[in-house]
Chain A
């Protein structure tokens, strides 16, 4: 650890040389620890059934990508396709609702101090910390006729995701000058126009962050669909994968093809929005 210079270029011109030995060790370790599991998924997914059942880390003797892909997709009457559609509906709907609702809360919460502010801050923090009470939530959903329905699950995801989004939005809104609001108000804008026409467009970058982080979280969510949307015909992808794991305990090539397919959406998000994800997930690290 000789050189602990940060990524920002230091004004001092004498920069330390790159540490070659450490680099090689780090890269080798990263390959073994982090890349091999992913390579294992990829290789097993294209193997034949017999070869996959040996569970070893080897080059496929025959590539069955298309065959395995079709087998997984067609399994149990195209359940994976239905699951992908369900997960997409769930993710898109709950993230859209989350963005609008939490931005509204964060806006008023940041701008206006009243006797409610303390209570609301407390509730927001509680939402981050307190584990949701499962069966009572089912009981509430049952009362509204929303248990085992997609709208019910969407609302649950919204309720559980609000706190995180409000915190991100509030921190960002604090950097927008109030003068802007005042100018808009003087020009005759009401609260709705002020929010939707002036503030919301300025939140673009933080909205992208919230959308990406929450999409990945909700797409990967297993627990809430397990409790609140049980049943085979409206399963989400994570539930399908879990059910596949017991049904396909002898067909590892298909199981890993399923894992591979489910990893692709987060991978795409990662490739395109790496910076925004990092920004969202490290918010608060500096200020604490």
Chain B
């Protein structure tokens, strides 16, 4: 394919490619990129690049004063902000791990011969489409320590439920559980697509060889559904690391700062008018995400080639 673009002369030539003639004008012009590129560059690339500069300034949107790494120093000296970093990682790892395990188990269940498969698939998937804020508010009330449905039900079977969102040691994990409740349907769907694409011959051969269902799982489903596993891990890590709306709807980072993540720190600093510090938080999040996702996706893709 020639990449030559001759705007002026092309019109006079015949559009049809002759046997010897090269096409002067590609039917796939580069300017098709232009409208999208302008929007993307102005509203995504420019902010991302300039964020590195603005994170080193004291900034009011209208003028900025360069102060070097002061914002980062503040960020890493303030215990409340540093804990946001660890919470982000814990939250991402917990949600992503649970989605992989539960998603795979649910997918195996929902591809097996059981009654009500269509209903089960729908009901597991539907929360994915529901408003995060709506889910967050609903579960905040369900998790109410005294009156909430969850603790009242637990009391019926004699368990004294914790203050899911009010106990500092549970708040972050409770939100993570709700995140899994809402997001596991997507992981399940991805695994179902992966399992369904495994050729039936493998299972038949395994049956002839007398493999147990346990062996089926470890030797056939798990290795051959590997691309699905990668997709689930990457998607849920990306989502978990930048998660904001569910946490904000349920705890606003509290009690204290015990469920603050970087994304909520960014919002709080922005609200407080510390734009430079907020942007520094954004850069930290950027570095964290790229440091985790890019090597991981390269590693996972390499493994896939080996397969």
Contact = CB atoms under 8 A, between A and B. Distances in A.
Given A112-B26, A186-B16, A158 B47 contact: no
Interface stretch (A73-81, A203-211, A266-274): A266-274
Q: Is the interface of B mostly helix, strand, loop or mixed?
A: helix
Contact of B289 (A10, A129, A223): A129
Contact of A56 (B130, B149, B230): B149
B54 A136 contact: yes
Contact of B115 (A20, A127, A227): A20
B36 interface: yes
Contacts of B137: 241, 245, 255, 259
Contact of A286 (B3, B114, B227): B227
A10 B289 CA distance: 43
A101 B124 contact: no
Contacts of B37: 105
Interface string A273-288: 0100110011011111
Given A4-B221, A285-B228, A136 B111 contact: no
For chain B, which range describes its interface: under 10, 10 to 19, 20 to 34, or 35 or more residues? 35 or more
A160 B123 CA distance: 29
A3 interface: yes
Interface in B16-60: 16-17, 26-30, 32-33, 35-37, 39-40, 42-48, 50-51, 54, 59
A30 B192 CA distance: 17
Nearest to B141: A55
Interface stretch (B79-87, B158-166, B196-204): B196-204
B294 interface: yes
B76 interface: no
Contacts of A222: 131-133, 245, 248-249
A135 B36 contact: no
B33 A135 contact: no
A86 to B, nearest CB: 15
A139 interface: yes
Interface string A155-178: 110111010001000000000000
B254 interface: no
Contacts of B114: 18-19, 22-23, 26
Contacts of A141: 43
Contact of A238 (B29, B125, B133, B283): B133
Interface in A75-120: 101-102, 104-105, 107-109, 111-116, 120
Contacts of A56: 147, 149, 152
Contacts of A4: 108, 111-112, 195, 203, 213, 216-217, 221
A26 B127 CA distance: 17
Interface string B83-112: 000000000000000000000000011011
A142 B275 CA distance: 14
Contacts of A10: 200, 203-204
Contacts of A286: 193-194, 197, 227-228
A35 interface: yes
Nearest to A129: B293
A281 B3 contact: no
Interface string B124-147: 111111111111011101101001
Interface string A241-252: 110010000001
A130 B134 contact: no
Contacts of A54: 147
Contacts of A20: 115
Contact of A102 (B36, B47, B126, B198): B36
A263 B131 contact: yes
Contacts of B172: none
B116 A27 contact: yes
A259 to B, nearest CB: 4
11 contacts: A3-B113, A6-B195, A36-B149, A56-B152, A132-B48, A135-B275, A137-B44, A139-B50, A140-B46, A185-B15, A220-B132
Interface of B: 1, 3, 15-17, 26-30, 32-33, 35-37, 39-40, 42-48, 50-51, 54, 59, 61, 108-109, 111-117, 119-120, 122-135, 137-139, 141-142, 144, 147-149, 152, 181, 186, 189-198, 200, 203-204, 213, 216-217, 221, 226-228, 230-231, 238, 241-242, 244-245, 248-249, 263, 266-267, 270, 275, 278-279, 282-283, 285-286, 289-290, 293-294, 300-301, 304
Interface of A: 1-8, 10-12, 15-20, 22-24, 26-27, 30, 33-37, 40-41, 54-57, 101-102, 104-105, 107-109, 111-116, 120, 123, 127-142, 144, 155-156, 158-160, 162, 166, 181, 184-186, 188-191, 194-195, 216, 219-220, 222-223, 226-227, 237-238, 241-242, 245, 252, 255-256, 259, 262-263, 266-267, 269-270, 274, 277-278, 281-282, 284-288
Which 9 A-B pairs rank lowest in CB-CB distance, beginning with the nearest? A288-B227, A133-B51, A136-B47, A159-B43, A23-B115, A282-B193, A101-B36, A112-B28, A285-B190
